[in-house]
Amino acid sequence: MAEKKRRKPVDKTKIEYVEPKPSWIKAVKVDDHNDVMDSIIQFFLVESPCKGVSSRGLSLLDYGWADSTPPKSGYLHRRLLEVANLCDGSTLFTATRKEEMKNRFVDAGMPGNFASTCTSNRVAALISSNFVLDLFRIIRNSLAHCRFQMVDKNGVDFIAFENGMPGKDLIGVDSFEVSSRLFLKCSTLIDWIAVVKSEAIYEAEEIAHKKEATEREWENKRQLVLSRISKGSYSNKDDLGKDCELSKRNLDKLLGELKAQGLIAYSRSNRKWELTGDANQ
């Protein structure tokens, strides 16, 4: 039996450790009769789009999105960043390993007292799989474990979220390993909910437009290849691909389609693709 690959030990010097019950969470009482907070809890916790975290969860598919795991830089990804005014390296800081997050918190200006120091939307998040769902999961976990706090900044309501897991620090004291911190306006979270619930149609339109553009481009390449073959203005397949700006894979695919349609055939004597009678009709 093959020996299992041992996981590399975590470098605890690179982990952000804080107290299990930080003082900033107790600083302000959550209003139990807050309609905005109710909407946030309902969407991100009770009906979480993240798979397997709620028996009452609603997948993004239920809202009409094309995929339950939205693609990187896809419509939903871009819209969430746009709505929140999050920009990579400025107000958005991410990493794929928790050992990288301690530095990300420094880069983001989100120390242990970030709930007090932050004044605008800011995210420092561990993104291990899918940006949108990982972000939603961070919010869900923070709500579920009550590691969040509503904060008033000059009359604007924000929520500070902190996600992670219990652990022991460098000297073995019970602590909390922080993997993500978010500081977001309540209005931003409500806008995100609205985007998820109402803008799937715009993604569908975007996908349709991209499909049409791809099909037009493919047809143009198809006509260009037929033209080059008709004129015999190429010395070999590599030259044909370069002339038509097609990768080897796409050229092979296109030639295969044209051959299957009976429009071209390979001449062994001339060692070239040539048009058939059908192509000239």
Percent pLDDT > 90 in the chain is: 75
Kindly report whether the global pTM for this prediction surpasses the value 0.85: no
Whether 1 maps to a domain, the answer reads no
Whether 6 maps to a domain, the answer reads no
Q: What is the CATH number of the domain that holds 231?
A: 1.10.10.10
Residues 161 and 233 in one domain: no
Whether 108 maps to a domain, the answer reads yes
Higher pLDDT, 91 or 271: 91
Mean predicted confidence (pLDDT) in 142-161: 95
Confidence class for position 51, pLDDT limits 50, 70, 90:
very high
Whether 5 maps to a domain, the answer reads no
Residue type, 86: L
Q: Identify the residue whose tokens are 């598919």.
A: 61
Confidence class for position 114, pLDDT limits 50, 70, 90:
very high
How many domains does the chain fold into?
2
Domain hosting residue 65, numbered range: 12-198
Residues 207 and 159 in one domain: no
Q: What is the pLDDT of residues 11-43, one digit of tens each?
A: 888 899 999 998 888 755 555 558 899 999 999
Q: Closest Cα to residue 127, out of 169, 170, 179?
A: 179
Whether 7 maps to a domain, the answer reads no
Q: What is the mean pLDDT of the chain?
A: 91
Whether 29 maps to a domain, the answer reads yes
Residues 163 and 225 in one domain: no
Which pLDDT score, from 0 to 100, does residue 1 have?
Answer: 47
Partner residues linked to 267 by β-bridges: 272
Whether 4 maps to a domain, the answer reads no
Residues 38 and 159 in one domain: yes
Q: What is the pLDDT of residues 82-99, one digit of tens each?
A: 999 999 999 999 999 999
Report d(CA 183, CA 24) in Å as an integer. 13
Judged by average pLDDT, the poorest of 27-31, 129-133, 153-157 is 27-31
Residues 181 and 264 in one domain: no
Whether 3 maps to a domain, the answer reads no
Which residues 6+ apart lie within 8 Å of 23 measured at CB? Answer: none
Residues 158 and 243 in one domain: no
Which pLDDT score, from 0 to 100, does residue 270 have?
Answer: 81
Q: What is the pLDDT of residues 172-224, one digit of tens each?
A: 889 999 999 999 999 999 999 999 999 999 999 999 999 999 999 999 999 99
Mean predicted confidence (pLDDT) in 47-70: 95
